[in-house]
Amino acid sequence: MDAPSVIRTKRDSGELTDAQIDWVIDAYTRGEVADEQMSALAMAILLNGMNLREISRWTDAMIRSGVRMDFSALPLPTSDKHSTGGVGDKITLPLAPLVAACGAAVPQLSGRGLGHTGGTLDKLESIPGWRALLSNDEMMTVLRDAGAVICAAGDGLAPADKKLYALRDVTGTVEAIPLIASSIMSKKIAEGTGALVLDVKVGSGAFMKNLADAQELARTMVGLGKAAGVNTVALLTDMSTPLGLTAGNALEVRESVEVLAGGGPADVVELTLALAREMLAAAGVHGKDPADALRDGSAMDHWRRMISAQGGDVDAPLPVAREQHVITASSSGVLTTLDAYAVGVCAWRLGAGRARKEDPVQAGAGVEMHAKPGDPIVAGQPLLTLHTDTPERYEYAIEALAGGIVVDPADTPFTAKPIVLDRIA
């Protein structure tokens, strides 16, 4: 087998055989297939697609490139959630302890932010002392003691995806449904969760800009999960505007704690509860309403145990950026657009995100929103507060907001989008 012939098959819109897929994934993981060869193949896949057999074999080959985890020794059923990535998407933070409080164990392997979308690990690392890197034994101990664990995937889990995802990120080949589906599902299947709820984001701040593409991605991933024996469900959710009122690491931790304390923005609470209900149902856990666990403090207890077990000081003040800059409304009316992509890029440029994998992030940087689409606006009122340690970034960050905030006359009809747009099971 050789890489040019595999690339030519896909370049000419052919179907890759099982043997070609197994070989190319294994040889790439071992370094025998070079990055430039794999990037040519990834581009051919982006342009010409893969059928379900190819996607399923590709996923399986990536799982077989590393180890599989096993939680069968736990006394509780396991349930996990994966979001395809968005702006202000802090849902994992309140969701994992909430589901644990209701009786399912949550083994959540999370990632870091790249580009305009935030990453769960970057958010949690703003809590003083909190550690993302755990050994398998430590992960199991936190899961047993706190009912939920959020940590980085070890190097042994789907190493082919780790290499390929980094390559796709710098070769313009992220936005391919077969590659996204196999990337996400190889990690989730290798992780060994019994049930999985996918939060497939749709809109300007998501990889999938329209509902039809998101439905295709969701159907592909649900099919891969079920075929591997993971009870998988997908919710398609709106990402045309940021979730909640914050985008940025420590800012989002603060908002998540508000949700766990029974408050927080309505959209964050609604989506957290919708995903919690799906995760519990998929794991076969019935009888406890997650809304009660937010009210009675049991979700907060699990949060405190989970964060402390990973070295985090739950009572320490969260980092605050050195500088703040308020953006005010230039006219009165109704806020009709607060674009997720614009806010995500603004937060990223302020220092909340990274341009390269090895860049540090600023814990306190980000965007605080003072209004949401549909809210009445009075000229001069604060719309956003921008937080950063590096005020020289303000100009560049503010440029990202051009066209992303629209205040229309007060009598402009406005219909709020539902948060959950579809469900695929």
Binding positions for ligand URA, rule: CB under 6 A: 84-85, 165, 174, 179-180, 183-184
- Using an 8 Å Cβ cutoff, are 86 and 94 in contact? no
Using alpha carbons only, how large is the chain's radius of gyration in Å?
Answer: 21
Cβ nearer to ligand URA, comparing 182 with 241? 182
**Which residues face 402 on adjacent strands?**
none
Question: Which residue's CB atom is positioned nearest to ligand URA?
Answer: 183
Query: Least distance in Å: CB of 331 to ligand URA?
Result: 38
Token pair for 391? 């005020």
Catalytic site residue from 183, 186, 204, 298: 183
- Using an 8 Å Cβ cutoff, are 252 and 93 in contact? yes
Annotation says 183 is catalytic: yes
DSSP string, 368-387: EES--TT-EE-TT-EEEEEE
Token pair for 370? 């003072």
Residue 51: CB atoms within 10 A of its CB come to: 10
Cβ nearer to ligand URA, comparing 223 with 333? 223
- Using an 8 Å Cβ cutoff, are 151 and 310 in contact? yes
Query: Least distance in Å: CB of 104 to ligand URA?
Result: 22
Cβ nearer to ligand URA, comparing 232 with 298? 232
Cβ nearer to ligand URA, comparing 179 with 222? 179
Query: Least distance in Å: CB of 401 to ligand URA?
Result: 25
- Using an 8 Å Cβ cutoff, are 312 and 304 in contact? no
Q: Which of 102, 26, 86, 11 is nearest to 58 (CA)?
A: 26
Query: Least distance in Å: CB of 106 to ligand URA?
Result: 18
Annotation says 187 is catalytic: yes
Cβ nearer to ligand URA, comparing 180 with 247? 180
Annotation says 289 is catalytic: no
Q: What is the C-alpha separation between 322 and 387, in angstroms, rounded? A: 8
Cβ nearer to ligand URA, comparing 10 with 162? 162
- Using an 8 Å Cβ cutoff, are 416 and 335 in contact? no
Residues of the chain by 3-state class (helix, strand, coil), percent to 5: 45, 15, 40
Cβ nearer to ligand URA, comparing 79 with 83? 83
Which pairing describes strands 195-202 and 231-238: parallel, antiparallel, or unpaired? parallel
Cβ nearer to ligand URA, comparing 91 with 102? 91
Query: Least distance in Å: CB of 159 to ligand URA?
Result: 14
Q: How far apart, in Å, are the Cα atoms of 9 and each of 20, 73, 165?
A: 10, 44, 22
Annotation says 81 is catalytic: no
Measured over the CA atoms of residue 49, residue 50, residue 51 and residue 55, the dihedral's sign is: negative
Query: Least distance in Å: CB of 231 to ligand URA?
Result: 20
Catalytic site residue from 60, 80, 161, 339: 161
Catalytic site residue from 90, 162, 168, 302: 168
Catalytic site residue from 187, 349, 354, 387: 187
- Using an 8 Å Cβ cutoff, are 248 and 365 in contact? yes
Query: Least distance in Å: CB of 315 to ligand URA?
Result: 33
Catalytic site residue from 82, 116, 123, 354: 82
Q: Which long-range contacts (CB under 8 A, 24 or more apart) does 25-29 make?
A: 25/58, 25/61, 25/62, 25/64, 25/65, 25/160, 26/61, 26/64, 26/65, 26/160, 27/1, 27/3, 28/160, 28/163, 28/164, 29/65, 29/159, 29/160, 29/163
Phi-psi category of 417—alpha, beta or left, where left has phi over 0 and alpha has psi -120 to 50? beta
Annotation says 162 is catalytic: no
Q: Which of 361, 140, 90, 112 is nearest to 245 (CA)?
A: 90
Query: Least distance in Å: CB of 242 to ligand URA?
Result: 18
Known catalytic residues are 82, 161, 168, 183, 187
